[in-house]
Structure 1
């Protein structure tokens, strides 16, 4: 069977997530010709919009942007994608450390002292994170000590009450999507620093990081970006081998497709980038790094009801629970639509445990939790949809990659540094809002500018 003819371009981009699409558009605007090779049959990467019911889009992947996500706001405006605020009116429902189900005001009154403890730890985290340069965390004055312990071990050393410690764990896992014992304390501080302060990350309402949504779903962003570079986009083209020299690259895809260019931008997660073969092989330091950057564990489950009945009861659709299965939930109703939609988050151990269960068993466990928090009406959804990321061949996890102990200090400088004609992008390589869509845009722009400088400077 004859192979397709080789595609020639100035710049080859591997991956059509936001980073790859932004990189391709940027080099195209600079007068260079890109070609984007996407392994999947769709664009978007870790963004995926599907319908939970006819005309009701929900986000199985990235969903929100925050108030300081300036690149994403500008991109949405440019692409003509409207935004709207996340609903956040009413009380959160709590269920922590044997408290039973409590509404927010009662929970805060009963555990005011414990919440004060937590606030002190968050302020300390902000102070320590301020010492971490996001472009080079390994250069922090105490990097060696911080990278030698896990975030969980540091949390355990703060003499917190069970309620405060549990709440801190839930909020952190809600961001990193792995248990805190798997993440170095330096990586936690890097995450806080790259995103601002803890109030941007750990707000119980998902505050600073999750204030705004997109009309039509987040999938509108990569779809409209792809339309701008559609003549340069190839789907169903998994990259298997990258041959590289001082002045050229040849990229080989499964099925015999090849692309030749002067530079390549690998815009997929480090773990997946490490599964591509390179000829000549990459330095061992880079390969050792990608071996130590696993994608996180996350899934989302959506319950669709005829109406958002919890709002009438003064609840905002958010729960925080250590009983589970979901540790957190969110009201994800659409403006102008009568349906009520509750999103349940399963992250870290919860995703690993419940994501491997049969769908009906998982749904039953989640339904029982929603009934505890929102009453019997929660037992009768009109529709249900969930999605887990570890089984998806071209993502193998979500939302992000996390670095365990001793990774930043031993291998971190290989994360975004170009290797000859090979450049790296993906939100995991960003220095501002890493692991978010905002970081994906930054990483795509940075990698594209490296290529533009090299080829036109």
Structure 2
């Protein structure tokens, strides 16, 4: 059996685990990162297609993602603005309308939607980000789903569907599966609904990385050198007050004084712990499934939609993609034109399992309805599906259903002796995003350092 020793063992070489390891190293202690996959990055994955970096995983940061901006600057990774100029197209009630016409036709319904968003903001202000289960109305809000609450807000049919599409765009789960308190926590850790939902100034998807998002974890890994061990799925964690032994498939083991489990909660729950974890922690991981997301990059010779006053953003009640955007490189004039289509939640579960050609045909038809005949004849389509990836099993993050937070939420990030928890789901700022992954990793590292 091969064994290595370090002060802190980090399970998972995603962004959160790498950020944790780097913080431990910067503090003068030795980390060792153990990763199941054959690469670093976790839910960040850039695929090179004929020299074009396509973000099959995490892609954007927002204007308030200061940790990620600083990290990119430190690692020498450039940042550029997401293209937003032009109108969005909407497909509702059997017709496709450009933004101005859509807003004029459904002005009354959209006013109702704005009222609901402001109410969500007001409610989220009462939710403590570190302990949402202590909110004054936590018991009431965690016993109903987001869908139930939205159904009671008096929205018109178009506004209700639009709200569903946009909310699923954040959660990647149908609103009937997520508790209202869980959504309010998502809003609380990210600011307000405008920051979550908007792609323009102030939103969560306003900037991208030159050369691909994977440059961030790859260059972060380079600063750790040989302190990363790949192809080593963790099977067991034996722990006592001041010692941990992490056992991996293939006989490799890592011995340390502290361990950070930087995995999505449901994956962390598949490790065998000795002694076993408290029941509340295991019950929590049983109630935080990975969400469902499928990305389809549709490539053209050029971004023709820009000359037609469109931003390549669609919102459709028909699908299979419910949303899309312009995903071109910084110099779009050199080509190619790229439209990214999102299949999230139920769309990912249903259309994501169709034969590839059936899905491609449906996407071509949909894009043609929104952006014209040229959009229906792409050069190629490149897809990224996450539920089947062995060491991820879904994206973007995990959310709880009714009673998940009030009964089990306190176990999400609470240390258990030498075991500390990271991953973006445990973040107190921008949970579910790369910004949250960095925040959570650094928090877990600080907890370890305090105990060393």
Range into which the TM-score falls when normalised by the shorter chain? over 0.9
CA distance in 1, matches of 2:218, 2:126: 39
- Does residue 143 (structure 1) correspond to residue 132 (structure 2)? The answer is no
Moved more, 201-210 or 436-445: 201-210
1:419 matched residue in structure 2: 416
Q: Secondary structure at the match of 1:169?
A: helix
CA distance in 2, matches of 1:99, 1:197: 32
1:386 matched residue in structure 2: 383
User: Could you tell me how far 1:118 is from its partner in structure 2?
Assistant: 0.5
Structure 1 segment 296-335 matched on structure 2, within 5 A: 296-335=291-330
- Does residue 365 (structure 1) correspond to residue 350 (structure 2)? The answer is no
CA distance in 1, matches of 2:225, 2:288: 31
2:71 matched residue in structure 1: 75
1:398 matched residue in structure 2: 395
User: Could you tell me how far 1:333 is from its partner in structure 2?
Assistant: 0.5
User: Could you tell me how far 1:382 is from its partner in structure 2?
Assistant: 1.4
User: Does the 8 Å CA contact 1:251/1:258 hold for their aligned counterparts?
Assistant: yes
TM-score by length of 1: 0.97
CA distance in 2, matches of 1:379, 1:166: 25
CA distance in 1, matches of 2:363, 2:376: 10
Unpaired segments ≥5 residues, structure 1: none
CA deviations 1:338-380 (Å, max 9, x no partner) are 2100000000000001111111111111111001001111122
2:444 matched residue in structure 1: 447
2:31 matched residue in structure 1: 34
User: Could you tell me how far 1:38 is from its partner in structure 2?
Assistant: 0.3
CA distance in 2, matches of 1:183, 1:255: 38
Counterpart selection for 1:94 from 83, 87, 90: 90
Structure 1 segment 213-292 matched on structure 2, within 5 A: 213-292=208-287
Counterpart selection for 2:350 from 350, 353, 358: 353
Q: Secondary structure at the match of 1:399?
A: coil
Q: Secondary structure at the match of 1:101?
A: strand
- Does residue 408 (structure 1) correspond to residue 405 (structure 2)? The answer is yes
User: Could you tell me how far 1:207 is from its partner in structure 2?
Assistant: 5.7
Q: Secondary structure at the match of 1:19?
A: helix
Number of residue pairs matched by the alignment: 450
Moved more, 136-145 or 360-369: 360-369
Counterpart selection for 2:15 from 18, 22, 27: 18
1:374 matched residue in structure 2: 371
CA distance in 2, matches of 1:381, 1:252: 48
User: Does the 8 Å CA contact 1:205/1:318 hold for their aligned counterparts?
Assistant: no
CA distance in 1, matches of 2:45, 2:143: 36
CA distance in 2, matches of 1:274, 1:237: 17
Let me know the Cα RMSD of the aligned residues: 0.9
CA deviations 1:298-322 (Å, max 9, x no partner) are 0100011001111111100000000
Moved more, 113-122 or 195-204: 195-204
CA distance in 2, matches of 1:304, 1:451: 46
User: Could you tell me how far 1:117 is from its partner in structure 2?
Assistant: 0.6
CA distance in 2, matches of 1:297, 1:276: 22
User: Does the 8 Å CA contact 2:198/2:205 hold for their aligned counterparts?
Assistant: no
User: Does the 8 Å CA contact 1:171/1:204 hold for their aligned counterparts?
Assistant: no
2:52 matched residue in structure 1: 56
Unpaired segments ≥5 residues, structure 2: none
- Does residue 131 (structure 1) correspond to residue 126 (structure 2)? The answer is yes
User: Does the 8 Å CA contact 2:262/2:421 hold for their aligned counterparts?
Assistant: yes
CA distance in 1, matches of 2:128, 2:225: 38
**Deviation beyond 6 Å, 4+ runs, structure 1:** none
User: Could you tell me how far 1:99 is from its partner in structure 2?
Assistant: 4.5
CA distance in 2, matches of 1:196, 1:99: 35
